[in-house]
Amino acid sequence: MALLTVDGPLDLAATLESGQAFRWRRVEPSPDGSPWFEGVAFGNLIHARQTRDGVEFTTSPDPESDVAPLLRDYLRLDEDLTAIYQALEFDEHVRQGIALYPGLRILRQDPWECLASFICSANNNVRRIARNVDDMSAAFGSPVTGGADERRSFPTPTQLADAGEASLRALGLGFRAKYIAATAERIAGANTDLFALRLAPYQEALDALTELPGVGDKIANCAMLFSLDKPEAFPVDVWIDRALRDWHFTEQQKPIQRNRMRPWAQARFGRYAGYANQYLFHSRRLGRR
């Protein structure tokens, strides 16, 4: 057992269950009520829960001391959330979202797993996306601990390119199978270096991602926000569409079009537009208001 200390607010459950990542599961309630989560990342099976002191976790097969800095980075525990809140609370609805879910953080995921997961999100629902991602991992990923029925890591681009469209379709990915296979080939062939996009400017990363099959503006912005260090990214999906329409454009006689929302929001919220997006999305999707 190891511990990550946290400065500032953290809501681990909201962070892991807000539709950014799809491989975390609640496993068992702990005596004090804060749930354990099980996930696969960095080639490890990870169990984690939030306590008064921070994030408790165990790892397998690597020692916790090796994984600790990776998990800290993944959870962005060093992000100054308070400063971000101050920059965004001018907006009434973002402020309400922050008040409802203080400590909801934006993850820093593996770019390939994140991109591929969101390719699965097209015209899909969260539960089936999670199942698609798990099914791909079980079928084509590598074992992490050596046990018989353990979970596997998310497949590499090469593993999915080798799998091919037909076997992905057989898993139940539907029309997304073609996009996953084709994009995996492109990445495996090193035509696009996803990690390099962490250092690229926003527009350059957006242009590179939307060249990939099955990756449009929305999915590219998800990958940029959740894995490529682009906090100004602003994915516009049906939930954000409804939120902005109801909360920010109620008095317009002509409703704003979906494809004009991202530039509008980025101009309004600035370099942390993605955090505004996440709080609007989460509070809207949970249906509390």
Helix (H, G, I), strand (E, B) or coil at 103: coil
What phi, psi does 191 have (nearest 5°)?
A: -75, -25
218 catalytic residue (yes or no): yes
Residue 5 DSSP code: E
Helix (H, G, I), strand (E, B) or coil at 60: strand
Pick one of 52, 257, 267, 287: the residue that binds DNA (CB under 7 A): 257
Rounded to the nearest angstrom, the gap between the alpha carbon of residue 129 and the centroid of all alpha carbons in its chain is 12
Q: How many CB atoms lie within 10 A of CB 200?
A: 17
Taking the complex as a whole, the smallest distance from the CB of residue 6 to DNA amounts, in Å, to 22
224-243 positions binding DNA, by CB under 7 A: 235, 237-239
Pick one of 210, 229, 264, 286: the residue that binds DNA (CB under 7 A): 210
Distance CA 259, CA 220 (A): 14
Taking the complex as a whole, the smallest distance from the CB of residue 162 to DNA amounts, in Å, to 21
According to the binding rule CB under 7 A, does residue 164 interact with DNA? no
Q: Which is nearer to DNA, 89 or 217 (CB)?
A: 217
Cβ neighbours for 1, distance < 8 A, ≥ 6 positions apart: 56, 57, 58, 64
Taking the complex as a whole, the smallest distance from the CB of residue 24 to DNA amounts, in Å, to 12
According to the binding rule CB under 7 A, does residue 169 interact with DNA? yes
Q: Which is nearer to DNA, 2 or 182 (CB)?
A: 182
Q: How many CB atoms lie within 10 A of CB 241?
A: 16
Length of the chain: 289
Pick one of 40, 98, 133, 220: the residue that binds DNA (CB under 7 A): 220
Per-residue DSSP letters for 163-182? Answer: HHHHHHHHTT-TTHHHHHHH
Taking the complex as a whole, the smallest distance from the CB of residue 191 to DNA amounts, in Å, to 15
7-66 positions binding DNA, by CB under 7 A: 18-20
Number of residues that bind DNA (CB under 7 A): 39
Taking the complex as a whole, the smallest distance from the CB of residue 151 to DNA amounts, in Å, to 20
Catalytic residue, from 178, 218, 230, 254: name it: 218
* E strand or H helix that includes residue 280: helix 273-285
Instruction: Give the per-residue contact string, 105-144, with DNA (x = CB under 7 A; - = no).
Output: ----------------xxxxxxxxx---------------
Helix (H, G, I), strand (E, B) or coil at 47: strand
According to the binding rule CB under 7 A, does residue 256 interact with DNA? no
Pick one of 108, 218, 230, 262: the residue that binds DNA (CB under 7 A): 218
Residue 195 DSSP code: G
Distance CA 287, CA 101 (A): 13
- Footprint of DNA (CB under 7 A): 18-20, 121-129, 169, 172-176, 179, 210, 212-220, 222, 235, 237-239, 257, 259, 277, 281, 285
- Residues annotated as catalytic are 218
